[in-house]
Amino acid sequence: MLNNLNLAEAQAGLAKGDFTSQELTEAHIAAIESARDLNIFVTETPERALADAKASDKRRVTGEVGALDGLPIAIKDLFCTKGIKSTASSHMLESFVPPYESTVTAKMLDAGMVMLGKTNLDEFAMGSSNETSFFGPVINPWKRNSDNKPLVPGGSSGGSAAAVSARLCLAATGTDTGGSIRQPAAFCGIVGMKPTYGRCSRWGIVAFASSLDQAGPLTRTVRDAAIILQTMVGFDPKDTTSADVPVPDFQAMLGQDVKGMRIGIPNEYRIEGTDPEILALWEQGIAWLEDAGAEAIEVTLPRTKYALPAYYIIAPAEASSNLARYDGMRFGLRVDGDTLDEVYENTRGEGFGDEVRRRILMGTYVLSAGYYDAYYIKAQKVRKLIADEFSLAFETVDAILTPSVPSAAFGQGEKSDDLLGMYLNDVMTVPASLAGLPSISVPAGLSSDGLPLGLQLITKAFDEETLFRVADILEQSARFTAQPGRRA
Amino acid sequence: MSVDKSTVVRIAQLARIRISEDDLGALAEELSKIVGWVEQLDEVDTEGVTPMASTTEGTSLRQRDDVVSDGDCRDEVLSNAPETKNGYFVVPKVIE
């Protein structure tokens, strides 16, 4: 089946004329239809995809094709797509149809992407299990050996991760604020990559926490991540935090070696409660890189444990500010009331789900008079210390290796009543987010219960080249070929 | 510090979110739990540390040329509005 090819293979097949983009796209549309019970897509766009595919096939005849020409890809429903509903999986934006295209998706369309549709996510990207979506949870295509319970795909890019894992698309876009690409990638046995803050324009992506949000790819291979990322990045004058820096050729870093490279191992990631199998996999990962000629060096990041509480002040604070725009006046839901204030309150009371409401209230609290210094400024100071610790570590090492998540995917509803337990999912991904560093989760093994586990690599800012170079070796060593039970 | 019901009412008002009386107790409990947990940051010595608002600090923000770069799209701007009239947003009465 054509939907079982990875993106690089599909690209080669199209170039050789083995099949057309229309055939490739039809295979993916059929795959999506066969997996509707997993609730992966908020909006399917098959007609649009077929039109894109036919246009691509025409371009190929003339030889003028882009880097993603004819390749069927899914887009997280947090990216605004012109003329196509963009909901952030929220009741608030349930019928919002943007009259503009996000910079990242515009670049991918320019490169010839075939857009299959918009994937489900945690509401406004706030969550680690995709269970906060207004449109219901996404089901992970993987199951435990020991039972038949539906598992979460992770979040917030849970639909994108599940879509790539179940072979419903060749690749998908995600966004990562505290782990929202890397954690679902680990839970679904795929590659998830968060670039340096500023690499991808945030313009046209529904904002959650603006100093942390970054777009990135979810794919089945490291090479595919490099191919997709190449088209997503680049300076954009419409985003003031977009970095005006040269973009390297990411694929050029693949197939090299890691001889003599120094890989940092931070002891502070041996976090209490981490699954022992994951700690063992981490040891295995260290051994793989040493076998490939790298040197493993202990580094210390002493304030790692404070990253998560700092994040749960900073991200809600920024969210409470960003989400103030949903007032029922210019776009989105409006719920009537007797006074203007009542309209605001009714609209926001009905439009936001429980987790979003909780985070807005938390953010409002830490920003309110009397608490601002004690919580918000304190968290920003801790953030500075964490960023400085990474800078210091990168004076002696080229990359840092850690697990991606402290556990394998858990069951639907298993952590719904455990707020802080749910937040702990991001304990290993949040530090790099606070520091704005590029990082990647690579599938590296299976748990004894048959679930995928990931390892995370982190490098210094704007050094995606080293990240891809090491990730490539990690992928080759791990030889992760397992596939989920549910795939199309 | 624990967050009580009256604090939830106050911040919900600041955030313009209607919350039913029935939800106040649970929200106060949840927020207290989160606030109590983030207070572990007090263990960190941050004396003399400059707060970090963004990882792009140190890079200077640019100013674009002062020219019209977008516009002439009134209908598109209004296309998602809950209510419009004669090319304007219609909002509830603000002044009595």
Domains of chain A in sequence order: 2-255 (3.90.1300.10)
First to last CA, chain B: 41
Using the Cβ of A345 and the Cβ atoms of chain B, whether some distance falls under 8 Å is answered with yes
Q: Enumerate the residues of chain A whose CB falls inside 8 A of the CB of residue B85.
A: none
Closest CA in chain B for residue A421: B34
Which stretch of DSSP H or E encloses residue A433? helix A430-435
Q: Enumerate the residues of chain B whose CB falls inside 8 A of the CB of residue A461.
A: 55
Contact A253, A438 (CB under 8 A): no
Contact A159, A121 (CB under 8 A): yes
For residue A416, what pLDDT is reported? 84
Q: What are the pLDDT digits (tens) for A207-227? A: 999 999 999 999 999 999 999
Spatial separation of the C-alpha atoms in residues A377 and A179, rounded to whole Å: 23
Would the pLDDT of B95 be above 90?
A: no
Using the Cβ of A327 and the Cβ atoms of chain B, whether some distance falls under 8 Å is answered with yes
Spatial separation of the C-alpha atoms in residues B8 and A457, rounded to whole Å: 40
Contact between B31 and A435 using a beta-carbon 8 Å cutoff = no
Tell me, what amino acid is at A102?
S
**Cβ neighbours of A147 (radius 10 Å):** 9
Residues of A labelled catalytic: 76, 156, 180
Distances (CA, A) of B75 to A330, A331, A446, B78, B90: 12, 13, 53, 5, 14
Half-sphere exposure of A304 (CA within 13 A, CB side): 21
Tell me, what amino acid is at A161?
A
A483 burial (CB, 10 Å; 0-12 / 13-18 / 19+) is middle
Q: Enumerate the residues of chain A whose CB falls inside 8 A of the CB of residue B62.
A: 237, 240, 244
Which of A38-52, A172-186, A408-422 bottoms out in mean pLDDT, i.e. has the lowest? A408-422
Contact between B80 and A240 using a beta-carbon 8 Å cutoff = no
Query: What's the residue count for chain A?
Result: 488
In which band, very low, low, confident or very high, does the pLDDT at B60 lie, cut at 50, 70 and 90?
A: low
Contact between B82 and A328 using a beta-carbon 8 Å cutoff = yes
**Cβ neighbours of A271 (radius 10 Å):** 17
Number of A to B CB contacts under 8 A, please give it.
Answer: 156
Spatial separation of the C-alpha atoms in residues A219 and A10, rounded to whole Å: 13
B38 burial (CB, 10 Å; 0-12 / 13-18 / 19+) is buried
Q: What are the pLDDT digits (tens) for A94-131? A: 999 999 999 999 999 999 999 999 999 999 999 999 99
**Cβ neighbours of A240 (radius 10 Å):** 13
Q: What are the pLDDT digits (tens) for A161-195? A: 999 999 999 999 999 999 999 999 999 999 999 99
A98 burial (CB, 10 Å; 0-12 / 13-18 / 19+) is buried
Bond into A156 cis (ω within 30): yes
Using the Cβ of A85 and the Cβ atoms of chain B, whether some distance falls under 8 Å is answered with no
In which band, very low, low, confident or very high, does the pLDDT at A51 lie, cut at 50, 70 and 90?
A: very high
Is residue B25 classed as helix, strand or coil in its secondary structure?
helix
Query: What's the residue count for chain B?
Result: 96
Contact between A383 and B52 using a beta-carbon 8 Å cutoff = yes
Would the pLDDT of B62 be above 80?
A: no
Spatial separation of the C-alpha atoms in residues B61 and A345, rounded to whole Å: 36
**Order of strands across the sheet with A262-266?**
A41-44, A114-119, A72-76, A171-176, A214-219, A191-194, A439-446, A452-458, A399-403, A262-266, A295-299
Contact between A312 and B38 using a beta-carbon 8 Å cutoff = yes
For residue A136, what pLDDT is reported? 98
Q: From A53, A54, A46, A109, select the one nearest A82 (Cα to Cα).
A: A109
Q: What are the pLDDT digits (tens) for A254-266? A: 999 999 999 999 9
Question: What residue ranges in A137-229 does DSSP mark as E strands?
Answer: 171-176, 191-194, 214-219
Contact B34, B7 (CB under 8 A): no
Q: Tokens representing A248?
A: 């390297």
Spatial separation of the C-alpha atoms in residues A185 and A158, rounded to whole Å: 8
Q: Which of B54, B83, B94 sits opposite A340 (nearest CB)?
A: B94
User: Residue range A373-398: average pLDDT?
Assistant: 98
For residue A201, what pLDDT is reported? 98
Which stretch of DSSP H or E encloses residue A263? strand A262-266
Contact between B61 and A436 using a beta-carbon 8 Å cutoff = no
For residue A351, what pLDDT is reported? 98
Is residue B50 classed as helix, strand or coil in its secondary structure?
coil
In which band, very low, low, confident or very high, does the pLDDT at A89 lie, cut at 50, 70 and 90?
A: very high
Structure-token match 């019928």, residue found:
A95
Contact between A99 and B27 using a beta-carbon 8 Å cutoff = no
Mean of the per-residue pLDDT values for chain A? 97
Contact between A334 and B16 using a beta-carbon 8 Å cutoff = no
Spatial separation of the C-alpha atoms in residues B2 and A483, rounded to whole Å: 46
Would the pLDDT of A417 be above 90?
A: no
Q: From A211, A316, A306, select the one nearest A268 (Cα to Cα).
A: A306
Using the Cβ of A84 and the Cβ atoms of chain B, whether some distance falls under 8 Å is answered with no
Helix axes A354-367, A307-322, angle to 10 degrees: 100
Mean of the per-residue pLDDT values for chain B? 92
Q: Per the confidence metrics, is the pTM higher than 0.90?
A: yes
Question: What residue ranges in A437-479 does DSSP mark as E strands?
Answer: 439-446, 452-458
Is residue B57 classed as helix, strand or coil in its secondary structure?
coil
Q: From A313, A299, A263, select the one nearest A434 (Cα to Cα).
A: A313
Which of A308-322, A410-424, B26-40 bottoms out in mean pLDDT, i.e. has the lowest? A410-424
Q: Enumerate the residues of chain B whose CB falls inside 8 A of the CB of residue A329.
A: 81-82, 89, 91
Q: Which of B15, B34, B53 sits opposite A380 (nearest CB)?
A: B53
First to last CA, chain A: 9
For residue B3, what pLDDT is reported? 93
User: Residue range A422-431: average pLDDT?
Assistant: 95
Would the pLDDT of B58 be above 70?
A: no
Would the pLDDT of B96 be above 80?
A: no
For residue A459, what pLDDT is reported? 98
Spatial separation of the C-alpha atoms in residues A64 and A62, rounded to whole Å: 6
Kindly report the nearest CA distance between residue A369 and chain B, in angstroms: 11
**CB interface of A with B, residues 136-195, below 8 Å:** none
Q: Which of A362, A379, A383 sits opposite B34 (nearest CB)?
A: A362
Spatial separation of the C-alpha atoms in residues A358 and A133, rounded to whole Å: 14
